A and B are shown apart, each in its own frame.
Chain A
Amino acid sequence: MASIECRDIAKRYGDVEVVRGFNLMVADNEFVVFLGPSGCGKSTILRMLAGLEEISAGELRIAGSVVNELEPGERGIAMVFQNYALYPHMTVADNIAFGLRRAKVPADEIARRMAEVCATLGLEPYLARRPAELSGGQQQRVAIARAMIKTPRVFLFDEPLSNLDAKLRNRMRVEIARLHQALRTTTVYVTHDQHEAMTLADRIVLLKEGCIEQIGSPQEIFERPRTRFVAGFIGTPAMNFLDLRVQATPPLGLELSGVAGALRLSGARFALGGREDVVLGVRPGHLKPCRDDGAACLRGTVDLVEYLGHDVLVTLDCAGTPLCAVLPVAQRPRVGDALAFAVPEEHVHLFDPASGLSLASAAQSAALPLPLPAQRLNAA
């Protein structure tokens, strides 16, 4: 087991810089997820950790020693690929043992570990088969077994569930979470699926265009997004954004208004710094229906009602701006109804229109920088 330390890591292809100044400290036993849209550089960083991609600048340490120049096989890592990357001409057993044979592990030791790993992953019936004779889920389990049997210091997962169907993906996700609970190997996991990131991660590293947007526990990222991009990327259905003008500032109380309506807040949590325009962010589930009695609220006409089971997702038209709200099925409105919503102050997010940075005051964001996953470690 080991920590991973990235210092100012960069990746350049010619003049194009795809990863810039990447700094991250992954603690021993930690499960870190790199999350971001495609092309954000998350896979490139993972491949640099693995040694499959050269590091253009910066320093990478695994378990305290610099590994920039080490071959992938010498870094004490194991990797699971998106398309499984099993050796098609070998049986499942040979696939799993291939790495240990290279490391000259004695045959009886290989057999012992093989039995152990295959029992954990339920692979015993398939050992004599070839990868092409297995289903996608089984193949991915073989790939995980191949990684596990080496007892690596670090596990690297590159979108391991993307090729599986939704049901299997959920099952494998639970299996990976269980494995990590049992093995506690330091893990870096790349995905573009926020659901995977939220459920698996001790900490999420959210990336955009080769830069870190935010690092934090899933809860921190969900509740206190540092930028408008993070707020919009995390959470389904996605957060609403409304352009509002500042009408009054504390100590009078914060008053905001726009085409969709108005809000009156205490404003204690925000540092507006004299801005006249802000972007309001509010999640669809946090909009509370209220009576439209002329007080400050958001108003709109129901445009579309989507049935989700327990809830309905209502899309409103607020004078040209769309606004989404999640309501219990019992309160299901009809298309054309006029609705009004209040926003509880604790669920209000404000962003700078130009930079997209959160306007939450320093006391709020102070909790953000690089918290270690103490709660998970203690639990173990």
Chain B
Amino acid sequence: MASHRLSARGAGRWLADATLALAAFAAIAPVVWTFVNSLKNRVDIATSVPRLVFTPTLDNYVYVLTRESARGGLVNSLVVTGASVALGALLGLPCAYALARRTGRWTHDLQFFVLSIRFMPPVAVAIPLMVIWLGLDLYDSRLSLVVTYLLLTLSSTIWLATPAFRRVPREIEEAAAIDGYGPFSTFLRIALPVAGRSLAGAVAFSFVLAWNEFLIALMLTTSDAKTLPIVASELTQLGRDVPWGILNASVILLSLPPLLMIGVLNGFLTTTVARGARRGQH
């Protein structure tokens, strides 16, 4: 009886493992395939039977990185994403702190309004914004894109940082008040560092959001302010002869910053969590 149940449990575990492996394969295989293809020349790609053994080449990467449009796109992406994330944090974190600590009649409505910005379909915003920026003579500029992305980064930063600030024990801030610190220094010296870990997550999330943004950038830029996703998508329009190797290389390059961001964050999280757990044993 007991062994019977044990084997049933074993089968269940096997099934769970298999499902997990399948899901992992489905997630990783396309990435690996893209990476492998980015190292192939066109002859190796354009075969009916995929080749696993080939002479790797960095030509595709060199081509992408030496192209004027790709480099311009990279600079634009870094400037626009960096500026909108930094401004989003600068404005959003104090706002989130206020929402977390000064609860009043409007707190809930304000918080919901912030979230509702994220509900809105980007197309619905993009067209009016296009008209506005054209009217202001700022269409296809980095400035207009930064301000537009600020809507994204600000709302996601506020939405994710408010609960992080709420988790800071109130007594710690009260202790600071008794030590003579006012609300501003309590925010800077206590709330920010104590909630730091979760806040880094909120900022990283808004970075990934802005970096990957495509639709709004497509509608608000034509040449000067084009971001990397737009440039990469244009590589497919080079004619009938699709440059698969170059396309794969640009996809890999495009994915690197968010991956690094998540990797750094993840490593940061695991070390601090592990340290916290070790401390907890004392």
Contacts and interface: CB of A to CB of B under 8 A. Distances in A.
Interface of A: 50-52, 71-74, 77-79, 81-83, 85-89, 98-99, 102-103, 130, 132-135, 146, 150
Nearest to A74: B180
A50 B178 CA distance: 8
Interface residues of B, number: 21
Interface of B is mostly: helix
Contacts of B176: 87, 98
Contact of B177 (A71, A130, A133, A150): A71
A206 to B, nearest CB: 25
Contacts of A130: 279
Contact of B175 (A71, A87, A103): A87
Contacts of B196: 89
A-B pairs, top 7 by smallest CB distance, nearest first, are: A73-B180, A99-B179, A85-B171, A102-B180, A85-B175, A132-B279, A89-B193
Contacts of A74: 180
A153 to B, nearest CB: 13
B17 interface: no
A156 to B, nearest CB: 9
A132 to B, nearest CB: 4
Interface of B: 169, 171-172, 174-182, 185, 190, 193-194, 196, 276, 279-280, 282
A79 B194 contact: no
A128 to B, nearest CB: 14
B181 A85 contact: no
B97 to A, nearest CB: 16
A69 B282 CA distance: 43
Given A89-B194, A133-B279, A83 B178 contact: no
Contacts of A99: 178-180
Given A71-B177, A73-B179, A87 B282 contact: no
B253 to A, nearest CB: 37
Task: From A85, A99, A135, A150, name the one whose CB has the most chain B CB atoms within 10 angstroms.
Answer: A85
Nearest to A83: B171
23 contacts: A50-B174, A50-B178, A51-B177, A71-B177, A72-B174, A73-B179, A73-B180, A77-B178, A81-B171, A81-B174, A85-B171, A86-B172, A87-B172, A87-B194, A98-B176, A99-B179, A102-B179, A102-B181, A102-B185, A132-B279, A133-B282, A146-B179, A150-B179
